[in-house]
Amino acid sequence: MVPPSGMVVSKNFVGYEDPDHNAAIILASLPPDAYSELDKSVTAEALRRQGVKLDRREPLSLASGKAFLVTARQEVDKTKFRKWILIGSAPDLTALVTVQIPENATAAYPESTIRAALGTLAIRSSVPTEEQLGLLPFRVGEFAGFRVDGVAPGRAVVLKDPPSFPFTPGQPQSHIFVSAAPGGPSHTTERDGFARDVFAAVPNVRDVRVISSEPMRIVGQPGHQIMAQARDPSGSMSLTMVQWLRFGGGGYLQVVGIAPTQAWPEAYPRFRQVRDNIEPR
């Protein structure tokens, strides 16, 4: 959608924001069948239980299908907000757009402006990979032969060996996961425990055994490295793993590389190439 003048793409969530006015538009996609459920459940009483006072609910029509718009008011931490909630249907998803404007900023964002912006909402069947990568809070400058396998909007990317890359049929392919998150330990002594906790949440592996866990510098910034052995979910394949955390700027970057143990000597230098060519936006 085209945001109102004064709002820019947010670095904190999927959508747009005007930090000076504490105004935001949050975009989310839900499963297709969520529309019918929300159509029934978004009522004055349901909103009231969430601290939201309904002003009006009205049907709309999008090019992709049915939609409805809720206008409401809410008070959060003694700040009063005007809210617009647009829920739209499409064959492959349900679009949820939430607009939140403080009442003292309604002169900058009157209702006519908000409605005009909501009217530009378009649901595309696909989003170009380059556009998805452009919304990440970091830039990957070197793919080291990997291809983009998936993007978590605004947060993470998974890179994997291309189908043409030599591998044994049925064997997991080498892949690397890069994500950014706010927060992290404030003291150096807390980083080892923090890194282990983050590493424990890596999915789709089993029988994980940490070989080493140590601090290190990564591209001139404080970081931490964990090396480990594991097995794939079926338990039939031996895997070797590395996790690098890079701290700074009020958050941390997580890079996780996983490869079949027999492919590790070839994969590890490529993981490092990717790691050393990641820059914050």
Predicted local confidence at residue 44, as pLDDT = 94
Local mean pLDDT, 10-residue blocks, the chain (281 residues): 93 89 94 94 94 94 89 93 95 94 95 94 84 88 94 89 62 88 90 96 95 95 97 93 94 96 95 95 82
Predicted local confidence at residue 126, as pLDDT = 78
Predicted local confidence at residue 172, as pLDDT = 66
Question: Structural domains in the chain?
Answer: 8-118 (3.40.1000.10), 129-280 (3.40.1000.10)
Predicted local confidence at residue 165, as pLDDT = 57
Predicted local confidence at residue 262, as pLDDT = 92
DSSP annotation of 31 reads: -
Element containing residue 256 per DSSP (H, E): strand 251-260
Q: Please, what's the largest Cα pairwise distance for the chain?
A: 63
User: Position 275: which residue type?
Assistant: R
Predicted local confidence at residue 64, as pLDDT = 82
Q: Distance between CA 193 and CA 203 in Å, rounded?
A: 19
Q: Distance between CA 158 and CA 167 in Å, rounded?
A: 18
Q: Is 34 helix (H, G, I), strand (E, B) or coil?
A: helix
Q: What is the reported pTM?
A: 0.68
CA-closest candidate to residue 278, choices 227, 221, 203:
221
Predicted local confidence at residue 30, as pLDDT = 92
CA-closest candidate to residue 278, choices 184, 157, 162:
157
